[in-house]
Amino acid sequence: MNANVQGKRVMGPVHGFGQLWQKTYRIRFEGARVPDTTVIAQWKSNFPAFWPRGNRMYSASTSLKPGDVGVINTNAPGNVTLRVHWYLRDLRRDVSFTFMRRGPPLGGQITFSADEEGDATHAQIQVLVRANDPIWEIGMRLGMSAAEDQFWLTTLQNVAAYFNATGKPVMK
């Protein structure tokens, strides 16, 4: 893994080619009130367990920590395996964490957060990415974007289910 990741720079969302893709996915926990700090602590401790089946994360540590670097293998449409290098930032350690991505196919950041609003707990994923080249930009427009949407919506349902909550994830 180190040969693929070590020394590589992360790419912010301003780098790359084509459209800047900005999406927000959110779920309201129904049937369970969980402190936002607990949601984030468990999300970081069990991060890849919440993903749809067939996707893997490789990291030096078992629990996510600031500065961690690793590789994510995800199954894209057509059973293509994508390897995404990531770097973890912790800006608001107790209620959010952010992956800086280095592709292919995309560069940018994904922020995972939780909050307590009124009488409910919410979990949220904010994606801000850009394709690395024209081929990946075409792929985003032809189905990769929709596949990513489904990936994160399923992840949110799995996070809620971990806390014995239900809810319908939405994309804003």
Residue 172 falls within a domain, yes or no? Answer: no
85 pLDDT above the threshold of 50: no
Q: Between residues 130 and 32, which one has the greater pLDDT? A: 32
Residue 21 falls within a domain, yes or no? Answer: yes
Residue 2 falls within a domain, yes or no? Answer: no
Spatial contact of 32 and 170, defined as CB atoms under 8 Å apart: no
Work out the average pLDDT over 55-83: 62
Q: Which range of residues forms the domain containing residue 20?
A: 8-167
Cβ neighbours of 70 (radius 10 Å): 20
Residue 76 falls within a domain, yes or no? Answer: yes
% of residues, the chain, pLDDT over 70: 67
pLDDT level of residue 125 (50, 70, 90 thresholds):
very high
Can you give the CATH number for the domain in which 17 is found? Answer: 3.30.530.20
1 pLDDT above the threshold of 50: no
Work out the average pLDDT over 76-99: 59
Q: Between residues 55 and 48, which one has the greater pLDDT? A: 48
Q: How many domains does the chain have?
A: 1
Residue 135 falls within a domain, yes or no? Answer: yes
Tell me: the pLDDT tens digits for 90-119?
555 678 887 776 656 677 888 899 999 888
31 exposure class (CB count in 10 Å sphere: 0-12, 13-18, 19+):
exposed
87 pLDDT above the threshold of 70: no
